[in-house]
Amino acid sequence: MIISNRLFYISLSLTGNISPCLSQILSNQKILNSYDAENVIPHLQTENHNYGFSTFASIPYVHCFTDSPDKEAYDIAILGAPFDTGVTGRPGARFGPKAIRSSSWRISPQAYNIYTLRNPFNSWAKIIDCGDAPLTWLDNTIALSTLEKSHLSVSSPSPTPRIITLGGDHTTTLAALRSAHKRWGPVTVIHFDAHIDTWDPKVVSGGISDYAAVNHGTFLHIAHSENLISNRSIHAGIRAPIARPKKDIRNDIRCGFEIITAREIDRIGPSGIAQKIKERVGNDRVYLSIDIDVLDPAFAPGTGTAEPGGWTTREFFTLLEGLEGINIVGGDVVEVAPVYDNVGETTVLAASQIVLTLLDLMVQRRVD
Ligand SMILES: [Mn+2]
């Protein structure tokens, strides 16, 4: 009905008169004209969930950056972190949050996962989108401080709202971990990435300044030095080169991590990796951070520091869904840089589906 209505106007403007083939459309137009607003608006809403502002999967927007006691309550919030001035490779992840939301148009809040038969939007949890944190691109210290305050503000209403952050380069996870620590104490990190990101700032940034020390390759080293994370954390999907063969690994263990390499999937499969992760983190409060470069560049080219030899999108979904039951207090999908994506938008399609999977994992277990 709605498409016919549009065709009617387009055809008129192209031809200047009404052709016989438009008779059915005119008939539809008459029916449409007979509708009053009360009839048409519900029709629009059921035909197409993509109306109004662009939020993640068309979920409701809430003004979260307020400490007002009248603030609307919610259980899980989507928060954008448009920041990419902490990168050592290609910039562009500041456009990640909007691209992930845009690619989520295909996710219907009414649809069910065919493997799990679940839909996180049709559950006990109220899931909302806060929009993006107001971050400056001109001073990293101020931007990360603003992001931490934004996290604290978003997680302030009762009872226990949790956040999924849309990055943003991986430095944004440091602000999330600082905020999570204030709320939950030390958390165990499950870190999906091609890179270990525990590099000593003296190595990655050459020790040139304290400002340069905080970047997307050092944030987990800093999180450890600030006692934000437990020593039962784990990386998975690792395959990027390291700078110092023994010292980097020794430092990584010191920061509390175990490594699962990308090629381990050939030996034990995605479910085997999920099992290994679950054994490591147990019942800990977990922060689950996903660098999109954990996927192979064939599936996710739109990222800052792509590394060949990664996982397929399908393998990763099997793995993620295998984590059901873990105690997730927060998570993120980062390093999505849409300018390097392909015309089929495979990176952002994967990113938005990963966010949906994270939401489902959070809904499966309430925080305690
Ligand atoms: Mn990475």
Calculate how far, in angstroms, residue 86's C-alpha sits from the geometric centre of ligand 1: 12
Q: What is the pLDDT of residue 66?
A: 86
Calculate how far, in angstroms, residue 294's C-alpha sits from the geometric centre of ligand 1: 7
Calculate how far, in angstroms, residue 353's C-alpha sits from the geometric centre of ligand 1: 19
Calculate how far, in angstroms, residue 237's C-alpha sits from the geometric centre of ligand 1: 10
Spans of all domains in the chain: 2-47, 56-364
Calculate how far, in angstroms, residue 159's C-alpha sits from the geometric centre of ligand 1: 33
Calculate how far, in angstroms, residue 48's C-alpha sits from the geometric centre of ligand 1: 36
- List the binding residues for Mn(2+): 170, 193, 195, 197, 291, 293
CB distance 302 to 204 below 8 Å: no
Q: What is the pLDDT of residue 161?
A: 85
Question: Which token pair is 134?
Answer: 């107001």
Q: What topology does CATH give the domain 56-364?
A: Arginase; Chain A (3.40.800)
Q: What is the pLDDT of residue 10?
A: 37
- List the binding residues: 170, 193, 195, 197, 291, 293
Which of left, alpha, beta for 250 (phi over 0: left; psi -120 to 50: alpha)?
alpha
Q: What is the DSSP letter of 28?
A: H
Calculate how far, in angstroms, residue 6's C-alpha sits from the geometric centre of ligand 1: 45
Calculate how far, in angstroms, residue 338's C-alpha sits from the geometric centre of ligand 1: 15
Dist CA 323 CA 28 (whole Å): 50
Calculate how far, in angstroms, residue 193's C-alpha sits from the geometric centre of ligand 1: 5
Instruction: Per-residue pLDDT tens, the chain, 368 aa: give them.
Output: 333 333 333 333 333 444 444 455 555 555 445 545 555 555 555 556 666 778 999 999 999 998 888 888 999 999 999 999 999 999 999 999 999 999 999 999 889 999 999 999 999 999 999 999 999 999 999 999 999 999 999 988 666 789 999 999 999 999 999 999 999 999 999 999 999 999 999 888 778 999 999 999 999 999 999 999 999 999 999 999 998 989 999 999 999 999 999 999 999 999 999 999 999 999 999 999 999 999 999 999 999 999 999 999 999 999 999 999 999 999 999 999 999 999 999 999 999 999 999 999 999 999 86
**76-81 and 257-261 strand pairing:** unpaired
DSSP letter string over 284-335?
SEEEEEEEGGGB-TTT---SSS--SS-B-HHHHHHHHHTTTT-EEEEEEEE-
Calculate how far, in angstroms, residue 169's C-alpha sits from the geometric centre of ligand 1: 9
Calculate how far, in angstroms, residue 293's C-alpha sits from the geometric centre of ligand 1: 5
